[in-house]
Chains A and B, each alone.
Chain A
Amino acid sequence: MEYLYDHYSAALLGVVSRIIKKEELAEEILQDVFLKIWDRIDSYDASKGKLFTWMLNIARNQAIDKTRSKEFTKSKKTDDIENLVGKVDRKDYTELHVEGIGLQEVLKQLPDEQRFVIDQHYLKGYTQAEMSEEFNLPLGTVKTRMRLAMKELRTLLKIE
C-alpha cells in the first residue's frame, strides 16, 4: 500500500486537482481515494486493465462525486471559485503544478487539435462529451482526435 502511495499519489492528486481546484479539498479526496483503493484492492481484476487505470477511475469518480455533493456546491458558492466542473485557468494550474514540466514539452510536440483534447481531458478534467458540448465539436471528432493524440503520445513517450 505504501508502495502504491509513493508511486501513484502524485499522478492521482494531479487528476483530482484538475477536477477539484482547492488544494486542501483535493488532498482530502486523495486520502479518500487511497482508502477506497485499500478497501477494494481485492476486487481489482487485472484482466480488465492496468492497475493504474483502475486507480485512476476511482480517483476520477471520487472527485466527480465530490463536485456533485451538497458540501461542494455550497463551498463553491461561498468561495466563488469555478462554476463549471473542470474549468480552471492555466495560471492556477501551473501554480499547483510542479512535476509537470516534462509534460509540457511532450504536449508541445502534438498537433494543435490533438494537444487540445489531451489538454482538456487530462489537464482540465473534461470528458469527451463535455468537450463536444462546450466547444461545439461533434463527439465523433473529439473521439477521433483523442484517439490520434493517444497514438501520437505512444510514439512520443516511446511506448511500443
Chain B
Amino acid sequence: MNVEAYISSGILEAYALGELTEQERVEVEKNLAQYPVLKQELALIEEAQERLLMKAGIQPRASVKANLFAAIDATKPAAKVVDLKKPDSSLSFWRMAAAASIALALITSYLAFNYWNKWKNTENSLTELIAQNQRIAQDYNTVNERLDNIEKDLKITNNPAFNRVVMKGTPNAPNSLASVYWNESTKEVYLSIQDMKQLTQENQYQLWAIIDGKPVDAGVFDGNFSGLLKMKDIQRGAATFAVTVEPRGGKTSPTLETMQVVGNVVKG
C-alpha cells in the first residue's frame, strides 16, 4: 500500500470526522493497526480537531451537570437489571436456551457414562464375588470330604479289631515306612503311607501278604496318597506284609529283589 497516497486521500480526516461507513471504518482500523505512520498521522489530525473543538465549545448550564449526575446515580444500581429486560432479549433467550441444552446434554452424557461405568464395575465385582463364593464352597466340600475321610480312617485306626502292621524300609529303601491295618475277622486291609518315594509312570507298588510262606496279592497302589487306602481282603493266617515295585498293574508273584518295606504281624 502507498501510505503517502492513502494519507493524501483524506480518508484519515474523514475517519476522525466520523464520516465513514461501517465498512470503511473497519478498513481504516485494519490499516491503522498495520502502519504506525498512519496512526501517527491520525493522532495529529485528532489533536487538531480536539483543539479546534475545545475552542469552539459552549459551556452548558450548571443544571445540565446536576441532572446528568442525578441520572447516572439513578441508573447505577438498576443498569444491569434493565439490560436483561431489553425487548431483543428473545435472541439471547434462545442463545441461553441453546447453551442450557448443550450444557444439559453434556451433563447427562457424563452422568450416563458415569453410571454405566459404575454399573459395569458393580457387575464385575459381582462376577468376582460369585466365583469366589464358588471357590469357597468347593474348598469347604474338599475340606469336608477330607474330614470325612479322616474320621473314617480314625475309626479304623482306633478300632482294636484292626491289627497295625508297621512295615520298615529294606536296604533297597532304608528311609521308607508304611503301615497296614488288617482286620483278621472281616479280612479288610487298609494301607497308610508314612514315607515312600515316587515311582515312574511304568511302575506301581504292590502289597503282598505272606500266608504260610506264600505271597498273596493284596493290590497295587501309587506312592502319592494320604490317609488310608482300602486294599484287597486278606484271609486269616497272614504272618508278614511286604511291598515290592512291579510293572504297572502288578504281577501274580512278587519280584523279591525290589522289596521296599516289610513288617511282621504282631499278634496282640
Do A143 and B46 form a contact, CB below 8 Å, given A48-B29, A128-B14?
no
- Residues in chain A near residue B49, CB distance under 8 A: 52-53, 56, 122, 150
Does A86 sit within 8 A of B, measured CB to CB?
no
Contact B8 A53 (CB under 8 A): no
Question: Least Cβ distance of A54 to chain B in Å?
Answer: 9
Does B239 sit within 8 A of A, measured CB to CB?
no
Q: How far is the CA of A66 from the CA of B89 in the complex (A)?
A: 25
Q: How far is the CA of A150 from the CA of B15 in the complex (A)?
A: 13
Does B48 sit within 8 A of A, measured CB to CB?
yes
Contact-residue size bin, chain A (C-beta under 8 Å from the other chain): 35 or more
Question: How many residues on chain B are close to A (CB under 8 Å)?
Answer: 42
Contact A127 B71 (CB under 8 A): no
B1-47 residues with Cβ-Cβ distance < 8 A to A are 8-10, 13-19, 29, 32-33, 42-47
Contact A157 B13 (CB under 8 A): no
Question: Least Cβ distance of B262 to chain A in Å?
Answer: 111
Question: Least Cβ distance of A42 to chain B in Å?
Answer: 12
- Residues in chain A near residue B56, CB distance under 8 A: 11, 14, 97, 99-100, 103, 122-123
Q: How far is the CA of A5 from the CA of B79 in the complex (A)?
A: 20
Contact B18 A10 (CB under 8 A): no
Does A9 sit within 8 A of B, measured CB to CB?
yes
Query: Across the two chains, which residue of chain A brings its CB closest to B83?
Result: A39
Contact A157 B51 (CB under 8 A): yes
A→B interface (CB under 8 Å): 1-2, 5, 9-15, 17, 27, 30-31, 34-35, 38-39, 47-50, 52-53, 56-57, 60-61, 96-100, 102-103, 106, 118, 121-123, 127-129, 143-144, 146-147, 150, 153-154, 157, 159-160
